[in-house]
Structure 1
Amino acid sequence: MKKKLNFSQTLLIGSLLFGLYFGAGNLIFPIEIGQNSGSNLYLVTLGFIISGVGIPLLGVVASAISKSDSLFEMGQTAGNKFAYVFTSALYLTIGPFFAIPRTSTVAFEVGIASSVAKEKIRMYLLIFSLIFFTIVLIFSLKPGKVMDNIGKILTPAFLVLLSILVIFAIVKPMGELGTNKPIDTYQDNPLLKGILDGYNTMDALASLAFAIIIISSIRKLGVNNPNRIAIETLKSGVICLIAMSLVYVSLSFMASSSVGIMDLGNNGGRILSKISKHYLGDLGKYLLAAMVIIACIKTAIGLIISCSEMFVEMYPNSLSYKTYAILFTVVSFLIANLGLANIISLSIPVLMYLYPLAIVLIVLSLMTPIIGKNKKIFKTTILFTAVFSIFDFLKALPKPISGSNIVINILSFIYGILPGFSIGFGWLVPAIIGFIVGIILLRLNRENIRSNNM
């Protein structure tokens, strides 16, 4: 039995983890905060890294530390019903309903749409997404080669393309950093705003899904001891953390320096396109298209593999891996053709509900060496979080619903009694209370057992 990975293997797993996480959304959102955060650039970027890098890393490590091979196994500590419902909801969210379709539509809008007449957009999106998902499916049907396909080929290719643009920005900056006034939403609580912006990457949710790929990849390299797997996961995660943080900082700073020579943009893809054209002319358009398409393809492959393997594990007597992979690819293709704006608007309320549950599950799993896999603590903490996250879900719904009288009255009451609700963290205090309640119930149960044994 192999005891640990060597450096090149650790680097390979780190590259695989980076490749799975880093999609087009990870390119676009740092660009947006770079321009919009103005003089609050540093705090917003730090917040974005905390939730966009730190929490996803903890998610993978939590799975290894809790000796859970998958999100489903991790969630079973809170009960089988929760495990089935939460795992299914999370995988469908980061899979065929939202994240996978977004990879195709973002790749199209950033890399292709600017060269297409408006009246032909839908037709070209259909053609592009068909080719895109055909490539994704071909790779996804060979999950055993995911390390080679993503870790050795796609991730290095993406980093080379991105480095070209970043080097230009470093050698010849467009202007000073953080000189503009932050837009309204970035003026107050910039650190917390950055953390909430990190939700948009969906990486904390994806970390719970990708854990199954990372852990199985480490095992394939000969490491089988659960404690050693946790250590190797952490080592590879640190490499991924450093790489992603450097990319996020580079992108946000590059966008911030562009404010002096171009108008503020409302879309990270358009901003990035302008920056590419500024440095490289028409060549920049092709460089950007290649960069975004590669980033999206590798993320979509990882998501299709993760979703298919998880549903096979949860429902072993239903469909085969190949059937799930084809089904999720087809559904993703159909939803992608609804357009990027519709996908994003529908995903935000779901993210505001699922993210707190994911964060709490990660924290509890990290604490298993101290609290163990105690069902009472897991159940009460998650129950309190689930109930109070409903209000964040309501607040994020489209205006026709969130602006209705009944929802306004409910939210007005919650604003007055729930600390942190106005800044998107109304679930935090209830989660802490649920944790305390779980500990109290555990101790009372132990005292009752002792009394009965006396």
Structure 2
Amino acid sequence: MNGNAHKSAFVATGLMLFALFFGAGNLIFPAAMGQQAGSNVFTAMTGFLLTGAGLPLLGVIAVGYSGSRDVQDLASRVAPWYGVAFAVALYLSIGPLFAIPRTATVSFEIGVVPFLGEVSDSGKSGALVAFSIVFFALSYWLSLSPGKLVDRIGKILTPVLLVAITVLVGYAAFAPAGAPPAPAEAYAQGALTKGILDGYETMDALASLVFAIIVIEAVYAMGVSDKKQVLSLTARAGMVAAACLAVVYVFIAYMGATGVAAIGMQESGAAVLSKSAEHYFGGTGKVLLAVIVFLACLSTSVGLITACAEYFNRLLPKMSYQALVTVFTLVSLVIANFGLSAIIKFSIPVLMLLYPLTVAIIALAFLHNVFGGHRIVYACTIGATAVIALLDGWRTLHGMLGGAEDGLVMRIDGALKTALPLYASGLGWVLPALAGLVVGVVLAKGKKV
């Protein structure tokens, strides 16, 4: 490929990657965070960008740099069984259990509900069923031909999506409704750390290990075979996607922060977006937002269904790709009809478990050559990280289900809040991970003696 062809290829691939990332959570979470962070919006947004844009970029580059076939191959450096367990948990989380159903419910809440007017709960439920059937029928059709993702998404859907987003958030940026309010309690102190944790909810760092394979395969399909060129194009495509994500996040969060003066505090990011669009553009704004949300969520749904079906086809070769697309589409359809609030609620404990493990494996992929790729280093680092990650997930689920305040997990939690730095802020896994890395390196060197 010549220089111009390379440039065109990585831009189209980068736009495809942005569209795959930019779905349900990428719209609602920065909007909600902007309202809550208020005058501390840019401090919180700095943290949000680290996990919402920076980590996905590192995840894409890490997979390309590692030369792994997929996330299972990368995670198997810890142990073969761990590779399968981690990959299955990750694919199911960003697939039919949480992320794919969320794309349909967010599309419905933002793009359809504002047009329903006064409707009963049963009427709204019926409308969700009808909408989700149409949404997943389109997702199913687009997912049957994964080789056409760049053309269908990178060259068609994404440019339309970016233009629509620019119109909405650009107007809000240059004509803010008012000054940001005082920050909510959670953002008054430690807004940076809270922003980091908010970025978890986009699930993009998890998805990056999956979408990276789609990007790499797209690069190979363009006729690029040199490994250095593949890594270069993959990294540059990741930079295009991360830059687009970062810009959109900043503008959406700013719109949320400055919009409080006009629309008041809202219960969810979906309501923030809907009422902001209506404030700035009236009825046209609701249509514009519906287009943005539908395109964003549809492209992400297609990418996730495709990625999940391709992985499980490799894991379970007796099941065809087409059959798996059907299964994942139908499961997602069923779960979507439990509603957005339920999906978000039950995803949080899983994210508290998987995110630290994902960050750790990304870091180890980059450090692989530094410590000689010894399995003991991978095992010690992931093992130490997993202890705190499991506790965080267990504690979050315990609280969500209304567990006793004096239960075992809460007693352990209380002790760690005073004994382990960063634990109280939700980043207690960082120091154990570093300690595990050091111990692993020492043990690896000891084997050589």
Give the TM-score band, short-chain normalised.
over 0.9
Deviation at 1:172? 2.4
Deviation at 1:118? 2.6
The answer as to whether partners of 2:371 and 2:441 remain within 8 angstroms in 1 is no
Q: Percent identity?
A: 40
Quote the Cα distance in structure 1 between the aligned partners of 2:5 and 2:189.
Answer: 45
Aligned ranges 1:52-131 → 2 under 5 Å: 52-116=52-116, 117-119=119-121, 120-131=123-134
Quote the Cα distance in structure 2 between the aligned partners of 1:439 and 1:2.
Answer: 43
Quote the Cα distance in structure 2 between the aligned partners of 1:131 and 1:413.
Answer: 50
Match of residue 435 from structure 2: 433
Q: TM-score, normalised by structure 1?
A: 0.95
232-241 vs 137-146, which moves further: 232-241
The answer as to whether partners of 1:381 and 1:434 remain within 8 angstroms in 2 is yes
Q: Does 1:241 align with 2:242?
A: yes
SS in 2 for 1:369: coil
Quote the Cα distance in structure 1 between the aligned partners of 2:406 and 2:319.
Answer: 42
Amino acid paired to 1:215: I
Quote the Cα distance in structure 2 between the aligned partners of 1:286 and 1:70.
Answer: 39
Amino acid paired to 1:86: F
Quote the Cα distance in structure 2 between the aligned partners of 1:445 and 1:190.
Answer: 44
Deviation at 1:111? 1.0
Deviation at 1:414? 2.3
Spell out, residue by residue over 1:205-249, the C-alpha distance to the aligned partner (whole angstroms, 9 max, x if none).
000111110100111112222222222111111111221111111
SS in 1 for 2:224: coil
Q: Does 1:28 align with 2:16?
A: no
Quote the Cα distance in structure 2 between the aligned partners of 1:149 and 1:402.
Answer: 51
Aligned ranges 1:308-327 → 2 under 5 Å: 308-316=309-317, 318-327=318-327
Q: Pick from 139, 154, 160 the counterpart of residue 136 of structure 1.
A: 139
Amino acid paired to 1:189: G
Quote the Cα distance in structure 2 between the aligned partners of 1:339 and 1:269.
Answer: 13
- Structure 2: give runs of 5+ residues left out of the alignment: none
Residues 110/39 of structure 1: CA separation in 2 closer, same or farther (3 Å cut)? same
Aligned ranges 1:274-293 → 2 under 5 Å: 274-293=275-294
Quote the Cα distance in structure 2 between the aligned partners of 1:184 and 1:395.
Answer: 22
402-411 vs 9-18, which moves further: 402-411
SS in 2 for 1:400: coil
Quote the Cα distance in structure 1 between the aligned partners of 2:197 and 2:412.
Answer: 22
Aligned ranges 1:413-452 → 2 under 5 Å: 413-447=415-449
Deviation at 1:266? 1.6
Match of residue 7 from structure 1: 7
Residues 417/4 of structure 1: CA separation in 2 closer, same or farther (3 Å cut)? farther
Quote the Cα distance in structure 1 between the aligned partners of 2:174 and 2:106.
Answer: 28
- Structure 1: give runs of 5+ residues left out of the alignment: 448-454
Deviation at 1:256? 1.5
Deviation at 1:27? 1.0
Amino acid paired to 2:424: S
Spell out, residue by residue over 1:316-337, the C-alpha distance to the aligned partner (whole angstroms, 9 max, x if none).
3x31111111100100001111
Quote the Cα distance in structure 2 between the aligned partners of 1:368 and 1:133.
Answer: 40
Match of residue 188 from structure 2: 187
Between Structure 1 and Structure 2, how many residues are aligned? 444
The answer as to whether partners of 1:350 and 1:393 remain within 8 angstroms in 2 is yes
Match of residue 296 from structure 1: 297
299-308 vs 243-252, which moves further: 243-252
Amino acid paired to 1:392: D
Spell out, residue by residue over 1:250-293, the C-alpha distance to the aligned partner (whole angstroms, 9 max, x if none).
11112222122221112111111111111111111111111111
Amino acid paired to 1:429: L
235-244 vs 394-403, which moves further: 394-403
Deviation at 1:43? 0.8
45-54 vs 390-399, which moves further: 390-399
Q: Does 1:154 align with 2:165?
A: no
SS in 1 for 2:229: helix
Amino acid paired to 2:301: A
Provide the alpha-carbon RMSD of the alignment.
Answer: 1.6
Amino acid paired to 1:151: G
Q: Does 1:330 align with 2:330?
A: yes
Match of residue 37 from structure 1: 37
The answer as to whether partners of 1:32 and 1:267 remain within 8 angstroms in 2 is yes
Amino acid paired to 1:162: I
Match of residue 401 from structure 1: 403
Match of residue 451 from structure 1: none
Match of residue 450 from structure 1: none
SS in 2 for 1:223: coil
The answer as to whether partners of 2:39 and 2:257 remain within 8 angstroms in 1 is no
Residues 411/5 of structure 1: CA separation in 2 closer, same or farther (3 Å cut)? farther
Spell out, residue by residue over 1:178-203, the C-alpha distance to the aligned partner (whole angstroms, 9 max, x if none).
3x111011112111110100000000
297-306 vs 360-369, which moves further: 360-369
Quote the Cα distance in structure 1 between the aligned partners of 2:52 and 2:152.
Answer: 24
Deviation at 1:2? 7.8
Amino acid paired to 1:363: A
Match of residue 215 from structure 1: 216
Quote the Cα distance in structure 1 between the aligned partners of 2:65 and 2:167.
Answer: 38
Quote the Cα distance in structure 2 between the aligned partners of 1:46 and 1:170.
Answer: 18
Quote the Cα distance in structure 1 between the aligned partners of 2:388 and 2:33.
Answer: 28
Quote the Cα distance in structure 1 between the aligned partners of 2:131 and 2:365.
Answer: 41
Match of residue 412 from structure 2: 410
